[in-house]
Amino acid sequence: MKKTTATRKRAVALQYGVSLLVFLTALLLTQLLWPFIQPNPTPLFFAAIIAAFYGGFGPGLLVSVISALAIDYFFFPPYGALEFTVPNLVRFGVFISVSALVSWLNGTRKRLLDEREKLLNQIRGFNDELRGKVAAATEELASANSSLFDSQQRLARSERLAVVGQMAASLAHEVGTPLHSISGHLELLGTSHLHDADTQRRVRVIQHQVDFIVGTVKRLLEWTHRGRLPLRPLALNELLKEVLWLVGPTLDKNGIRVELGLDESLPPLRADRDSLQQVFLNLVNNSVDAMPEGGVIEVTTRLDREGGAAEVVFRDSGVGIGPDAAEHLFEPMWTNKPTGSGFGLAIAREVMAEHGGSIELAERAGRGAGFRLTLPLEQLVPEAGRAEEVTSRVA
């Protein structure tokens, strides 16, 4: 506190000292230029303005007063004396009034500029502090999320499917609460910095990663706690058409064309509509990801009476699947996509197995990937009563 007071006193003394120096300089200039500028002592008037601009109202008023006295003493008769006649007093009053007004205006302007600069410095300081805290929190959260996700992958790859259920329950308990807390604090952070574009962008990135982890845990829990599927009459071709209609906007947006080859002789099956829809959507979405520049998806169905199965084949013209990836394709939490969860095909294989069928890679000549899904003929709806069941379900 004492240090601040002493600093302020030194600043005030400097302002008055500089103002007096300006006055003396103006007085000397007036003496030298008086033959050319009389009867207007312009340098002394500007001295008052400069003093007010630099030092504020106090120094400006001081220079105004001593300038008025100097004008009367040095430049108007009787020279070398102060004579308070009516003309001198009028001249003195006008000079003081004008100079004081200009000094006050300049002083007010300087004070406002100083206050503005002080506030700007405070705001800059707050912004720098907040930016540092956000950067540190972002780095910490990103590191924690990355470590958490890596741990999940290592655990899933090292565990057999028989113990995945226990892992999922433990993971949901340990991760759910802190992730919920992180999401809450992220929401508060975003609402308290609505006009900071950089903070908003960082919050969105972190929230996206948190949502991704929550979705991964949720899908793992759903997969490991799947019960026995309810099998009902289902028109397989109609379900495929519905799935392709659902993803139609996405396909159009990505420039992807669909070629359908549906076997109209395919009879209705007993299957779980929701789980098969999930499998078909996953395969279509994988094809979309594999064709960022657009392409073709082929979907065909066939009734293989000799093989005792109904067959569905998905093929695309994307980047294809390498031999190394093919070995791990159906393993849980294995993925070669930067935003993939690694559960889609693992869940698809589980769903097909619960239907008594299978899913496998289908050979494809040239570029692209293919998957063949089979459902055993034992899952076909018996002839008796089939029309009534299918009509009620599809309608």
Task: Please list the pLDDT of the chain residue by residue as tens digits (395 residues).
Answer: 565 677 778 877 888 888 888 888 888 888 888 788 877 777 877 787 777 777 777 777 778 777 777 877 787 777 776 666 666 667 667 767 776 777 677 667 777 888 888 888 888 888 888 888 888 888 887 877 776 676 665 555 444 454 555 566 666 657 766 777 787 778 888 788 777 888 888 888 788 777 767 766 776 666 566 667 788 888 999 999 998 988 888 889 899 999 999 999 888 888 988 889 889 988 998 889 888 888 999 999 999 888 778 899 999 988 887 777 767 677 766 666 655 556 678 888 888 888 889 999 887 666 788 899 998 876 555 544 444 443 333 33
User: Do 217 and 170 meet the contact criterion of CB atoms below 8 Å apart?
Assistant: no
Q: Is residue 88 part of a domain?
A: yes
Q: Is residue 376 part of a domain?
A: yes
Q: Which domain holds residue 26?
A: 2-123
Q: Beta strands 358-361 and 370-376: pairing type?
A: antiparallel
Q: Is residue 252 part of a domain?
A: yes
Helix, strand, or coil (residue 35): helix
Closest CA to 61 of 98, 26, 90, 112: 98
Domain boundary among 93, 123, 153: 123
Q: Do 117 and 266 share a domain, yes or no?
A: no
Domain boundary among 107, 123, 139: 123
Give the position of tokens 């506190």.
Answer: 1
Q: Do 239 and 369 share a domain, yes or no?
A: yes
Q: Is residue 324 part of a domain?
A: yes
Q: Is residue 79 part of a domain?
A: yes
Q: Is residue 187 part of a domain?
A: no
**pLDDT computed for residue 280 by the predictor:** 92
For the chain, what is the domain count? Answer: 2
Cα-trace Rg, the chain: 42
Element (H, E) at 129: helix 86-158
Q: Do 237 and 380 share a domain, yes or no?
A: yes
**pLDDT computed for residue 240 by the predictor:** 93
Q: Do 248 and 374 share a domain, yes or no?
A: yes
Q: Is residue 362 part of a domain?
A: yes
151 beta partners: none
Which CATH number characterizes residue 249's domain? 3.30.565.10
Q: Do 359 and 240 share a domain, yes or no?
A: yes
Amino acid at 387: A
Q: Is the pTM of this model over 0.75?
A: no
DSSP 212-279: HHHHHHHHHHHHHT------EEE-HHHHHHHHHHHTHHHHHHTTEEEEEE--TTPPPEEE-HHHHHHH
Residues whose CB is less than 8 angstroms from the CB of residue 219 and which lie 6 or more positions away in sequence, other chains included: 341, 343, 347
Q: Is residue 59 part of a domain?
A: yes
Size of the chain, expressed as the number of residues it contains = 395
370 beta partners: 315
**pLDDT computed for residue 225 by the predictor:** 60
**pLDDT computed for residue 178 by the predictor:** 77
Q: Do 106 and 238 share a domain, yes or no?
A: no
Q: Which residues in 279-299 are b (16+ Cβ under 10 Å) and which e?
A: bbbbbbebbbbbbeeebebbb
**pLDDT computed for residue 160 by the predictor:** 47
Domain boundary among 100, 123, 146: 123
Residues whose CB is less than 8 angstroms from the CB of residue 214 and which lie 6 or more positions away in sequence, other chains included: 176, 179
